[in-house]
Amino acid sequence: MQKISLPQASKLTSPNPVTVVCTEKPDGTTNLATVSWWTYLSFKSNMIAYAMAKTSYSGEMVRNNKKVILTIPGTKIADAVMGCGSTTGRDTDKVSKFNIELADVEGSSIKIPAHSRVAIVCSMKEYHEVGDHYLYICDVEQVYGNESEEALFAWNGYSQLRPAK
Ligand SMILES: Cc1cc2nc3c(=O)[nH]c(=O)nc-3n(C[C@H](O)[C@H](O)[C@H](O)COP(=O)(O)O)c2cc1C
């Protein structure tokens, strides 16, 4: 084996997971951000975690109101999901810019992309500094699934979004 960097390793581990982190902005509308660094943590009780750059607008929102929904986006919105990963909710309404159809989630004021395979409704429990990111540890309140949507994955590190097969 050869010594490689961690970013190079992320290319070798492709396809990597992709989520869309949905948070509520102060005006009640939804911000969407693309996040690969997430994981299941526990099934008893149900917990997940994800890491976002300290500067992210989504992070600011979840630290403020503790509410977040992680979704696994469907292949139909690949271009929009890439767009949500290269713009910030600080100055962009991503839903209108990328023309993303939203759906309601029972019991939550946060909306999600209609083309989602899974939605994990969470309440943020705690967060920890990890290098230039914060790791958000969340209790899972509800989970929804739609098998008819094919999941997106990140290829070549994080440069392309395509299905796993
Ligand atoms: C495929 C892909 C995966 C990404 N994964 C992450 C991630 O795991 N953590 C992170 O902080 N940013 C990640 N990003 C970058 C964020 O989506 C980007 O910084 C975005 O502008 C944050 O939006 P916000 O400021 O509205 O929260 C990813 C981008 C792409 C395209």
Which residue has the CA at smallest separation from atom 30 of ligand 1?
A: 85
Structural domain of residue 142, as residue ranges? Answer: 6-157
pTM of the model: 0.97
Query: What's the CA-to-centroid distance between 45 and ligand 1, angstroms?
Result: 27
- Amino acid in the structure at residue 128: H
Q: Which of 24, 31, 35, 70 to mutate to test the pocket of ligand 1 (most atoms within 8 A of CB)?
A: 35
User: pLDDT tens digit string along 28-70?
Assistant: 999 999 999 999 999 999 999 999 999 999 999 999 999 999 9
User: Is 1 inside any structural domain?
Assistant: no
Q: Give, as one character, the DSSP assignment of residue 56.
A: -
User: pLDDT tens digit string along 4-35?
Assistant: 999 999 999 999 999 999 999 999 999 999 99
User: Is 135 inside any structural domain?
Assistant: yes
CATH at 56: 2.30.110.10
pLDDT of residue 91: 97
User: Is 164 inside any structural domain?
Assistant: no
Integer CA distances (angstroms), 15 to 33, 88, 100, in order: 19, 24, 24
- Number of domains within the chain: 1
User: Is 111 inside any structural domain?
Assistant: yes
- Amino acid in the structure at residue 41: L
User: Is 109 inside any structural domain?
Assistant: yes
pLDDT of residue 165: 84
